[in-house]
Amino acid sequence: MVYVAVAAVCEFNPFHNGHKYFLETARSLAGGPVLAVMSGSVTQRGEFAVADKFFRAEAALKNGADLVAELPAVYAAANAERFARGGVRAAAAFGCVTHLAFGCETDDLGLLCAAADAVDDERVQKITAELMRQGDYYPRAFSSAVGRVLGESAGRVLCSPNNILAVEYIRALRGTGIAPLPVLRAGAAHDGETPSGSFASASYIRRLLRSGQPVDKYMPCVPHEVADPKNLERAMLFLLRRMTPRDLAQLPEVGEGLENRLADAVKKHNSIEEIITAVKTKRYTHARIRRILLCAALGITEELQARHAGYVRVLGFSRDGAEMLKTCRCEAVTSVARAMQNDEIRVFLEKDVLATDLCALAFDRIKPCSSDYLTKIIKTF
C-alpha cells in the first residue's frame, strides 16, 4: 500500500531529459511514487501539444511517473492561477499525496512563499494596478511591485515563467495539507535557444521536431508523428469567423472591450499570427491572446473555467500507481464513454475529447477522431 506520494503538474510538451531528471529528483526528495497531472492535447501557452497525449503519458510512465492523470483542457488552457489551481485540486484528490513538486529557477522556498503572499498584499496590488495603467503588462508590473514592497530579490523571482507558476502552486496548496517541493531546473533555461549537454528546452526541441531534425540526444522517447499548429490555420480561422463579439465576451480573460478588438482583428486578418499581433498590447500579452483564441475554438467559457471539475481522468499507471488510485477521493474516470453519462463530468470531458479531435488535424497525416474512447489505459506492469 502506498502511503506517501509526490505529485507534479506538468505539460511534457514534449517529454524530454529535463522532465526525466525532474521526476527522478522529485521521487528521491519525497521518498515515494510520483503522480503526474499532465495537460492533454492543449497547453498553457495557448497551443495544441506537439505530441499525442497518450504517447507523452507513456513516456512519463517509463521515465519516473507512476500515475498519469489528465489535467482537463478547461484548466490546461488557462492562466497561471487557474492552471495551478486545477492541477493542485487533482493532486489533492489523492489521499497519499504529501508533496507537490515543481521545477523552478530557485529552490529558495522562503523566497517563493514570500512572493506567493505578495500576490494578496494590498500594497503590491495598488502598485501593480498603477504600473498597468501606465501601460506595463501584468507579469512585469507585478514583479516590479513585489520588488518595491519586498525587495529586489523577491521581485527577481517573478521574472521567470516557472517561478510564476511555482508561486501559484504555493497559493493553490494553502489548506490542502500538501507541502510545496521546489526542484531546481537542470540544464537549458526555459525557452532557451542553446542546449546544455543532453538537456534542451521544450521550445527548442519542438522546433527540431517540427523541422525533422534529430532529437534523440534530448529525449528518452521520440514521437514518430508531430503536430504543427500551421496545419490548423484554416480550421482555427473558420471557427473564429463564426463568432460574434457577444460570443467572444464569454471567453476567459476577455474584458474591457477586448471582444471588440478581437472581432475586428478576425475580420481584417487572414492568419492567426496577424490576429494576435493586431490585438496584442503590453497589457494583453501574446500568450494571453493565444489562450483566448484556443478557448474560442474549444468553446471554453469563463463560467466553465471558474468551476470545479470534481473528477480525475486516468491515462496510465504502474503497479505503484494502481495502489495510488485506491486513495482517490473523487470520481476516477477510466472509461470516457461511461463518464459521459454523468452530466457534471461530461461538460469538462467534452472539451478534452474536442481538444484531442482538433489536435488530430494538426498532424501531417490526419489522425481519426475518438481516440479518447478507443485508446486503452496505459499499464507499465
pLDDT in tens, 131-157: 988 878 777 888 899 889 988 877 888
Give the whole-angstrom CA distance, residue 282 versus residue 100: 32
Neighbours of 285 (CB within 10 A): 16
Same domain, 44 and 130: no
**Total number of domains in the chain:** 3
pLDDT score of 136: 82
Q: Are residues 47 and 123 in the same domain?
A: no
Question: What's the CA gap between 44 and 288, in Å, rounded?
Answer: 9
CB neighbours of 162 closer than 8 A, spacing ≥ 6?
102, 103, 104, 105, 185, 190
Bridge partners (DSSP) listed for residue 247: none
Q: Read off the pLDDT of each residue in 92-97 and give the average, rounded to a whole number.
A: 97
**Are residues 359 and 227 in contact, defined by beta-carbon separation less than 8 angstroms?**
yes
pTM tops 0.85, yes or no? yes
Q: Are 104 and 169 spatial neighbours (Cβ–Cβ below 8 Å)?
A: no
Q: How far apart are CA 38 and CA 52, in angstroms?
A: 12
Residues 173, 313, single domain; the answer is yes
Count of Cβ atoms closer than 10 Å to residue 179 Cβ: 14
Query: Are 347 and 375 part of one and the same domain?
Result: yes
Instruction: Output DSSP code: residue 366.
Output: P
Q: Three-state DSSP class for 183?
A: strand
pLDDT value, residue 349: 98
Burial class of 232 by CB neighbour count within 10 A (0 to 12, 13 to 18, 19+): buried
Q: Which residue in 319, 324, 377 sits closest to 30, CA to CA? A: 324
If pLDDT is split at 50, 70 and 90, which confidence band does 15 have?
A: very high
* Tens-digit pLDDT profile for residues 286-307: 999 999 999 999 999 999 999 9
At 158, the pLDDT band (50, 70, 90 cuts) reads confident
- The region that residue 162 occupies, defined by phi over 0 for left and psi between -120 and 50 for alpha, beta otherwise, is alpha
Going by pLDDT thresholds of 50, 70 and 90, the confidence category of residue 1 is low
Residues 119 and 25 grouped into a single domain = no
Considering only 104-118, 144-158, 318-332, which range has the smallest mean pLDDT? 144-158
pLDDT for position 281: 82
Q: Calculate what percentage of the chain has a pLDDT beyond 70.
A: 98
94, pLDDT greater than 80:
yes
Identify the domain boundary among 263, 278, 303.
303
Residues 240 and 336 in one domain: no
Q: Name the band, by pLDDT with cuts 50, 70 and 90, for residue 244.
A: very high
Identify whether residues 183 and 257 lie together within a single domain. Answer: no
Q: How many Cβ atoms sit within 10 Å of the Cβ of residue 11?
A: 20
Please say which residue of 303, 327, 354 terminates a domain.
303
Residue 169: is its pLDDT beyond 60?
yes
Based on the fold, state whether residues 89 and 208 are members of the same structural domain: yes
| 285 and 320 housed in the same domain | no
Q: Are 257 and 354 in the same domain?
A: no
The yes-or-no verdict on residue 3 having pLDDT over 60 is yes
Proportion of the chain above pLDDT 90, given as a percent:
81
The set of cell numbers assigned to 316 is 496510465
**pLDDT surpasses 70 at 190:** no
Label the pairing between strands 311-317 and 5-10: unpaired
Boundaries of domain holding 141 = 110-159
The predicted model gives 182-202 an average pLDDT of 80
Q: Are residues 92 and 181 in the same domain?
A: yes
Please state the rounded mean pLDDT for residues 212-223. 97
pLDDT at 54: 98
Pick from 139, 159, 179: which residue ends a domain? 159
The 10s digit of each residue's pLDDT in 24-73 is 999 999 999 999 999 999 999 999 999 999 999 999 999 999 999 999 99
Report how far residue 132's alpha carbon sits from residue 286's, in angstroms, rounded to the nearest whole number.
16
Indicate the residue type of 161.
Answer: P
Q: What is the CATH number of the domain that holds 222?
A: 3.40.50.620
Determine the residue type at 190. H
What is the overall mean pLDDT for the chain?
A: 94
Average pLDDT over residues 310-318: 97
Same domain, 222 and 179: yes
Distance CA 291, CA 237 (A): 15
Does 187 score more than 80 pLDDT? no
Q: What is the mean pLDDT of residues 319-329?
A: 97
